[in-house]
């Protein structure tokens, strides 16, 4: 029970990696708030969390809209009186080669992935600063470190998240708020299920551990970063990728 009585907010927690993070945190004793645009799946995840004996709350929040984010953060404070943990996990892809990428697809990915992380960090850190306690984890990607053909928008958003992690860590450290990032490699979720089989084969050949990751692999690294075991770690990016990228 490493997170006993903590209150954790997970964006995009309805399914995929966010759902695994929310479930693992609940198993470790945390009450969970999920912000997502997919309310049907979010309600299901909340029911599963309540089945573990923890409190759960799902809100329809589009992380690109600051007014929605701020209003929903106040709802968390009304219900739980605090927010100890924020995981900025909501993310999308809209892939195309640079010359074919539309302005709308560029804006959409930057808005959800990067501006969404900024919006939620800004709102939650206000409360964390007052509490003099908080842990923030941003879900980046190895693509934000090495780049990837066809993902100009996504790679730029994830590189931005890594830089935002370092800046927020520097600004919030004196208030006892730690900010770190996780850069997953290839994780089996609906986001990656749609990739062509030839591409998946090619990627597997580049993974030294010779297997794709699971959402739980990311969730376990996230649990470490929000637990007291990581109290002296801030501004870092942990790569969870089976050894694809070795810095
Ligand atoms: P999924 O698409 O499975 O889940 C993402 C969730 O975020 C969905 O529930 C989605 O809703 C929700 N969401 C989308 N847009 C918004 C928004 N504007 N506001 C709130 N919620 C939103 O993704 P994954 O679990 O695969 O990925 C989670 C994170 O991990 C992302 O940031 C991704 O970039 C990152 N990542 C994933 C990797 C992978 O291999 N899967 C590798 C590296 C990083 P809806 O269902 O309606 O779209």
pLDDT in tens, 36-60: 999 999 999 999 999 999 999 999 9
Task: Note the pTM of the prediction, 2 decimals.
Answer: 0.98
Taking only the tens place, the pLDDT of each residue in 62-73 is 999 999 999 999
Bridge partner list, 33: 9, 57
DSSP string, 66-112: HHHHHHHHHHHHHHHS---EEEE-------B-GGG--HHHHHHHIII
**Looking at residue 247, what is its pLDDT?**
80
**Looking at residue 194, what is its pLDDT?**
86
As a whole number of angstroms, the distance between CA 182 and CA 230 comes to 13
Q: How many whole angstroms from 137 Cα to the centroid of ligand 1?
A: 15
**Using a 6 Å cutoff on CB, does residue 38 contact ligand 1?**
yes
Annotated catalytic residue 154: yes
Q: Does domain 7-238 have CATH number 3.40.640.10?
A: no
- With a cut of 90, say whether residue 99 has pLDDT above it: yes
Q: How many whole angstroms from 26 Cα to the centroid of ligand 1?
A: 20
**Looking at residue 188, what is its pLDDT?**
95
Interval 147-176 mean pLDDT: 98
Taking only the tens place, the pLDDT of each residue in 32-42 is 999 999 999 99
- With a cut of 90, say whether residue 195 has pLDDT above it: no
Catalytic residue among 154, 178, 181, 238: 154
In a mutational test of the pocket of ligand 1, which residue from 92, 112, 203 has the highest number of ligand atoms less than 8 Å from its CB?
92
**Looking at residue 144, what is its pLDDT?**
98
How many secondary structure helices (H) and strands (E) does the chain include?
10, 7
**Looking at residue 191, what is its pLDDT?**
83
Q: Nearest 5 degrees, angle CA 169-CA 219-CA 234?
A: 15
Q: How many whole angstroms from 213 Cα to the centroid of ligand 1?
A: 15
Please report, rounded to a whole number, the percentage of residues in the chain having pLDDT higher than 70. 100
User: Which atom of ligand 1 is found nearest the CA of 187?
Assistant: 40
> Which residue has its alpha carbon closest to ligand 1 atom 2?
191
Q: Specify whether the CB–CB gap between 25 and 40 falls below 8 A.
A: no
- With a cut of 90, say whether residue 146 has pLDDT above it: yes
What residues does each domain of the chain span? 7-238
**Looking at residue 3, what is its pLDDT?**
98
In a mutational test of the pocket of ligand 1, which residue from 37, 62, 147, 237 has the highest number of ligand atoms less than 8 Å from its CB?
37
**Using a 6 Å cutoff on CB, does residue 62 contact ligand 1?**
yes
Taking only the tens place, the pLDDT of each residue in 208-227 is 999 999 999 999 999 999 99
Please report, rounded to a whole number, the percentage of residues in the chain having pLDDT higher than 90. 97
- With a cut of 90, say whether residue 165 has pLDDT above it: yes
Interval 79-91 mean pLDDT: 98
**Using a 6 Å cutoff on CB, does residue 152 contact ligand 1?**
no
In a mutational test of the pocket of ligand 1, which residue from 34, 36, 107 has the highest number of ligand atoms less than 8 Å from its CB?
36
Mean pLDDT of the chain: 97
As a whole number of angstroms, the distance between CA 240 and CA 211 comes to 12
């Amino acid at each position: 029970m490493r997170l006993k009585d903590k209150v954790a907010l997970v964006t995009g927690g309805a399914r995929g990696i966010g759902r695994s993070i929310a479930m693992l945190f609940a198993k470790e004793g945390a009450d969970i708030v999920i912000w997502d645009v997919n309310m049907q799946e979010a309600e299901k995840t909340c029911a599963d969390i309540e089945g573990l004996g923890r409190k759960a709350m799902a809100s329809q929040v589009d992380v690109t809209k600051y007014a929605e984010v701020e209003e929903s953060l106040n709802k968390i404070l009304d219900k739980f009186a605090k927010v100890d943990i924020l995981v900025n996990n909501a993310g999308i892809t809209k892939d195309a080669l640079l010359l074919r990428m539309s302005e709308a697809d560029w804006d959409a990915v930057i808005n959800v992935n990067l501006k969404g992380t900024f919006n939620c960090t800004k709102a939650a850190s206000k409360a964390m600063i007052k509490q003099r306690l908080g842990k923030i984890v941003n879900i980046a990607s190895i693509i934000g470190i090495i780049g990837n053909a066809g993902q100009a928008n996504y790679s730029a958003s994830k590189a931005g998240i890594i830089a935002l992690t370092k800046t927020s860590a520097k600004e919030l450290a004196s208030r006892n708020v730690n900010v770190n990032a996780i850069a997953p490699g290839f994780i089996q979720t609906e986001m990656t299920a749609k990739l062509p089989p030839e591409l998946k084969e090619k990627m597997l050949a580049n993974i030294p551990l010779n297997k794709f990751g699971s959402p739980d692999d990311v969730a376990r690294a996230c649990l470490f970063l929000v637990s007291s075991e990581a109290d002296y770690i801030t501004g870092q990016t942990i790569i969870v990728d089976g050894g694809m990228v070795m810095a």
